[in-house]
Amino acid sequence: MQSKNKCMRDPVMYRCVADCLHHRHGDKFKAYPTYDFACPVVDSIEGVTHALRTNEYADRIPQYQWVQQAAGLPPVHIYEFSRLCFVKTLLSKRKLKQFVDSGLVEGWDDPRMPTVRGIRRRGLQVEALLEFILEQGPSKAGNLMEWDKLWTKNKQIIDPIVPRFMAVGKDAVPVCIKGAPETVESKKRRMHAKNESLGEADLLLFNKVFIDRDDAALCADGEEVTLMHWGNCIFDKVVKTASGEISEIQATLHLEGDFRKTKKKLHWLANLGGVASAPAQNTELVLREYDHLITVDKIDQEEENWEKFINRETRFDTPAVGDPLLKQLKEGDLLQLERRGYFRVDKTGDQLVLIKIPDGRSKAMSAVGTKVDAAKLSGAKITGKK
């Protein structure tokens, strides 16, 4: 009782459970060993030579060693290392269980959860996780990691191997292109410009296409732009309503134009709705993004009112429409939507649900808006307005 280490002052070795039968002994014994007593005994009798523990258990090391010494057991060497923590993330199983039980998340495999199942559902590859862990090493210094390092490593793994598709938001702006095919035609395009092994796909060409509204807002009358995988066209007139909203764009195909001289390279999608010559219809999509569950970088373990830092609005859906080929994808497949980012197929059916995979960037991939700030996901400090 005089020990300076409070863990050594009359430690609890057993708990009595009177109203529950033991799984082996029935009601013969009603005492259950605590973790602090069982751990050093089991480690020693099972032949463990080195126990690796995070350093928040430092005060319990003398107790661990005392139990083994008092019981006459072979000692086990303990090596301490710091706990790996991430910004805006709780790793306490008790608190994570509260998220699940309260319905804040869908389950332990929810993409917002810092579980292996959760981050894998969000698109993290096992190779990226293993490489990241091995790079950390057994440091004893405190670690509060930003998520960007892990997601950047994941991007390096998936970028060379995922196919490319195009998709636009449901509020996309129609573009009428003079000189373009009046019936749907197709030409071959590579699924990945730098990976021939992914093969080719049909790119559907038509004189009526869609571009994202965010892109349209930045275009001007007479401007020449490049439609990705097709060629150049000139936006003759950006038509607006009386309220100033863009209703359509009138354009002229200009395939002889030089794509190296255009400032805007836009993704687009043929407007196939109700077109008899279309070999297939576009794919209905939901683009799903997630934010952090916690609003501050770190919550102290002693913080009693930690629930005030919970972010209650963390899932954001964007209705979209994409390439007809997207219908062929299966749950778990990875892809890139041009100028939007990387995604994982979470659900298939009449409407594909695609979960956006963070890529470690602190800025958005293009002018096309996202509902979760890229800087927040990467962990970068936000110094100005978006």
Helix (H, G, I), strand (E, B) or coil at 166: coil
Could you say which of 27, 59, 81 is where a domain stops?
A: 81
Q: Would you say residue 207 lies in a domain?
A: yes
Q: Would you say residue 24 lies in a domain?
A: yes
Which has the closest alpha carbon to 357: 348, 370, 368?
370
Which of 2-6, 7-11, 280-284 reaches the highest mean pLDDT?
A: 280-284
Work out how many domains the chain is built from and give that number.
2
Q: Would you say residue 46 lies in a domain?
A: yes
Q: Would you say residue 233 lies in a domain?
A: yes
Which has the closest alpha carbon to 358: 91, 105, 106, 123?
123
CA–CA distance, 184 with 4 (Å, rounded to integer): 82
Q: DSSP labels for 279-292? A: SSPPEEEEEEEE--
Q: Would you say residue 214 lies in a domain?
A: yes
Q: Would you say residue 40 lies in a domain?
A: yes
Domain coverage including residue 254: 173-270
| Residue 382 pLDDT > 60 | no
* Average pLDDT, integer, range 98-121: 97
Which residues, in sequence order, are CB contacts of 302 under 8 Å at separation 6+? none
pLDDT tens for residues 314-344?
Answer: 999 999 999 999 999 999 999 999 999 999 9
When the pLDDT of each residue in the chain is averaged and rounded to a whole number, the result is: 92
CA–CA distance, 302 with 49 (Å, rounded to integer): 33
Helix (H, G, I), strand (E, B) or coil at 57: helix
Whether the full predicted model's pTM is greater than 0.75, yes or no, is: yes
CA–CA distance, 44 with 48 (Å, rounded to integer): 6
Locus of tokens 């389950």: 107
| Residue 84 pLDDT > 90 | no
User: The CATH number of the domain where 238 resides is what?
Assistant: 2.40.240.10
Helix locations, 159-279, DSSP H? 213-216
Residue 210 near residue 271 (C-beta atoms within 8 A): yes
Could you say which of 64, 81, 98 is where a domain stops?
A: 81
Could you say which of 221, 238, 270 is where a domain stops?
A: 270
pLDDT tens for residues 262-319?
Answer: 999 999 999 999 898 899 999 999 999 999 999 999 988 767 789 999 999 999 999 9
pLDDT tens for residues 150-198?
Answer: 999 999 999 999 999 999 999 999 999 999 999 999 999 999 999 999 9
Q: Would you say residue 383 lies in a domain?
A: no
pLDDT of residue 386: 38
Q: Would you say residue 259 lies in a domain?
A: yes
What's the pLDDT band for 364 if we cut at 50, 70, 90? Answer: confident
